[in-house]
Structure 1
């Protein structure tokens, strides 16, 4: 599709969390380069996150709506990165209060967007799209296997009793590979919330759904979403980072350590012998977890880079994120500790990285697979348990080392797994990761499945626009 061929105008509405915004911004870049007019909707404090995109594409419009009058705003919070998971549902409620301001903007705008592309946590935008008479496309930064499970929960409403038995196992026999999970792993994605239920079910009746995934990784789950839930248009358009080709050193934010210094240290390490330890942009380890992880790293004798996140709102600073005294001195030369944000794409793609100890957030999963790096899985909440099951049990590119945001790992066992992950004992998982890396690189190139799916999405929305004009639903 040529740059000037599309007639569509998309309102792109990301959910304000790093793991949700980055892949949708990547996709927006690709929409724009393929000729789609774009208006980005953000609240004031999230506007700086668009700086890189707007610098490359100054013709992209921005719609800045004030954050709703909600208790979160009185705390100065407009981004999930500043919160513990307990605040996620209040944030969703707060964002839904943008319905009327957004509806008013549409009705008074001279040339309003012809379609809405919004995050799956903004399910209420489906009702807005229906009222406006335009298509809404759901964007999921999470994997399709997770969506198959979540959609089953919300559609079928299984009886959970009083929820006292946290270890009762739920089996998903209609989902490919018949995954099963204890209730304590599902409770965070299936809270008793009518608001969330309506949003999730609204997603299933949207005009279409696009996933930051690729066919070679999740084809059976993409097909399941089409057939089992009757969603006509289900497309994998990822990994979106590959399609965009972002600056690896700057992606996601400023770094606490110069990217050049990290690269120089890694350049002095042998191939595949460094473990990268990173738990994403939200997870903060308790001091006890920090102690056991540090002990495991030290006992293993491996080379490592450990990214440590500072406590945010909801965490007691005295109880979280403390690096054990003397650890950095004792591991000097063997490891690097990075406080705050790290250039994860740059690190994970370096030849010296042999494995990633991860919380199994979907962005981290994709970045590791793109780099052909096997993983040590420590899922902590929500979709991360599903992602770990996909990686460990179905794709063979990871091994579980711990589970749960409050779990305390055994330092000796962790040390053993860390050492094994950069040894010849990990050769099979590395080979599987390399195979998926090749598939990910190919699918994002011209002629690849994800590349073609983007063309299909834009063309179908263009056809929808023409059809609506013919029916007299919008001005010519």
Structure 2
């Protein structure tokens, strides 16, 4: 492990969404192990996310800055979890108002950071770094494939032949495997800009800031996305591209990942313990997606018809979801599947669940953290991508032959018969090939983060770059 003798000072700036913040904090742990001096910027309501990291590394300093006063989002909200699904753009714009407070902090610090590592939604920090004459590195909690498409979009600015046709297909012919998607699958940030939405110039400038940054850090690993890593180096015109993942919790931290409820975690483990290996389907759509009642009804019907054992982690409606129209489990469903189906409302210990031998398939929205957790556990996936980068994550799983598409789109209502067939086959003997491929990827994921693995060495190399003043 490369140790920075100078203990170079680095500023880490996560985006306040659980799916973005947790992997960057995991990377921060790896950087701290290599003796960097680290300050992490958070707003007051997100400070608690740092607690596990600060316990392990008391030397890490939090920089707590008040959330900018704004009319873009409800008063008191500082985290995407508390916003409606459309909250990413307003949150991104609001956070750009931290520019001057961060600038003032830098200029008054006796030993200010040499570099900024900030989330891909904080591209405006590259302008800040330029003004301070330091380096800024983009952290991507998304797949390399997904960022390849996103960067391509912002450089080439594709347009539709028919500005009203949401289904017009956009093909990225210079990206390996030629990904093609309808317009409505493109990043919401870009579509908002293309439609001249509010704050569109702020969004464009932030995205261009990513392209101009010193380098890209990906929560992925070389053996998983080598072809797309090579593409990004060619696209950017330099090799400052690091795959440092999968960034996952240690064995003892699995149960608490993303929440904590040891009693519930123990009950889930006991329930899973009664079943044979690879016979349970785990169903979860992440920390953001909430299904409509019609989607809930058809999903429940599909699970019931499948005859398969399942564990369904069901997110309950939050602010921004119309009361009575989301997240309702059909009446009588739990009684009808009693014994072979378990429903968990709210948080569930996903990493621990996927690691349990009884789990043989994962019905997922294809959020990148979920995908990596499933790959690391050697569990093939049934895919239902809903928004943003999830469509490209599902494409990657198709390429790797460890994913089977159920349906796609956040408003799509699945066909219960098709869903039942796919769920049943995912834990049957006929699923042997995807399981075997998932196990191979799992082994590669584990080896990548071990000493001398590709991701381990990538972190060492990243530390070397972070430790050098800009221009050296």
Which residue among 195, 200, 203 is the counterpart of 2:210? 203
Task: Give the TM-score, by structure 1 length.
Answer: 0.95
**Structure 1: 4+ residue segments shifted above 6 A:** none
Q: Which residue of 2 aligns with 1:28?
A: 28
> Cα offset for 1:112?
1.3
Alignment check: 8 A CA contact 1:205 1:231 kept: no
> Does 2:349 align with 1:367?
no
Alignment match, 1:460: 465
Whether the 8 Å CA contact 2:20–2:141 is kept in 1: the answer is yes
| Residue equivalent to 1:312 | 318
- Work out whether residues 256 and 341 of structure 1, in 8 Å CA contact, stay in contact via their aligned partners in 2: no
2: distance between equivalents of 1:291 and 1:257? 29
- 2:190 partner SS: coil
Post-superposition offset of 1:84: 2.7
TM-score (norm 2): 0.96
| Residue 321 in structure 1 maps to residue 327 in structure 2 | yes
Residue equivalent to 2:164: 164
Q: Contact 1:67/1:78 (CA < 8 Å) preserved in 2?
A: yes
Contact 1:186 1:382 in 2 (8 A): yes
Q: Deviations over 1:1-20 (max 9, x none)?
A: 36563531111000000110
Cα pair distance change 1:98/1:260, threshold 3 Å: same
SS at match of 1:97: helix
Q: Does 1:397 align with 2:402?
A: yes
The question of whether the paired residues in 1 share the 8 Å contact of 2:10 and 2:466 is answered with no
Cα deviation for residue 85 of structure 1 reads 2.7
Give distance in 2, aligned partners of 1:48 and 1:304. Answer: 33
- Contact 1:44/1:67 (CA < 8 Å) preserved in 2? yes
Q: By how many angstroms is 1:158 displaced? A: 1.1
Q: Distance in 2 between matches of 1:256 and 1:318?
A: 30
What does residue range 63-462 of structure 1 map to in structure 2 within 5 Å? Answer: 63-71=63-71, 74-161=74-161, 163-186=163-186, 188-191=188-191, 192=193, 193-241=200-248, 247-255=253-261, 258-392=264-398, 394-462=399-467
Task: Give the distance between the partners of 1:256 and 1:76, measured in 2 at CA.
Answer: 29
> Is the 1:257–1:342 contact (alpha carbons within 8 Å) kept by the matching residues of 2?
no
| Residues 176, 257 of structure 1: alpha-carbon distance in 2 compared, 3 angstrom cutoff | farther
Alpha carbons 1:214, 1:239 under 8 Å: kept: yes
Aligned equivalent of 1:471: none
Instruction: Tell whether the 8 Å contact from 2:73 to 2:90 is kept in structure 1 after alignment.
Output: no
Instruction: Give the C-alpha shift of residue 239 in structure 1.
Output: 0.4
Residues 117, 139 of structure 1: 8 Å contact kept: yes
Q: CA deviation at 1:111?
A: 1.6
Question: Matches of 1:429 and 1:416 in 2, distance apart?
Answer: 16
Distance 1:205 1:95 in 2: 20
> 1:132-191: CA deviations, max 9, x gaps?
111111100000001111111110011225631121111111000111111121152522
In structure 2, the CA distance between the partners of 1:310 and 1:150, relative to structure 1 (3 Å rule), is same
Report the Cα distance in structure 2 between the residues aligned to 1:269 and 1:175, rounded to whole angstroms: 43
Distance between the aligned counterparts of 2:335 and 2:83, measured in 1? 32
Q: Alignment partner of 1:463: what SS?
A: coil
CA distance in structure 1 between the partners assigned to 2:150 and 2:63 by the alignment: 31
Q: Distance in 2 between matches of 1:105 and 1:28?
A: 20
Moved more, 189-198 or 383-392: 189-198
Q: CA RMSD in A?
A: 1.5
SS of 2:78 mapped into structure 1 = coil
Contact between 1:11 and 1:39, CA under 8 Å: does it hold in 2?
Answer: yes
CA distance in 2, matches of 1:252, 1:314: 22
For 2:196, the equivalent position in structure 1 comes to: none
Give the Cα–Cα distance (whole angstroms) in 1 for the partners of residues 362 and 135 of structure 2. Answer: 39
**1:233-278, CA deviations, whole angstroms, 9 ceiling, x for partnerless residues?**
0010000116x55600001112396211111111111100000000
Helix, strand or coil: the match of 1:11?
Answer: strand
Corresponding residue of 1:474: none
Q: Secondary structure at the match of 1:39?
A: strand
Question: CA separation in 2, counterparts of 1:5 and 1:306?
Answer: 48
Q: CA deviation at 1:208?
A: 1.2
Equivalent residue pairs, number = 465
Conserved? CA contact 1:237–1:453, under 8 Å: yes
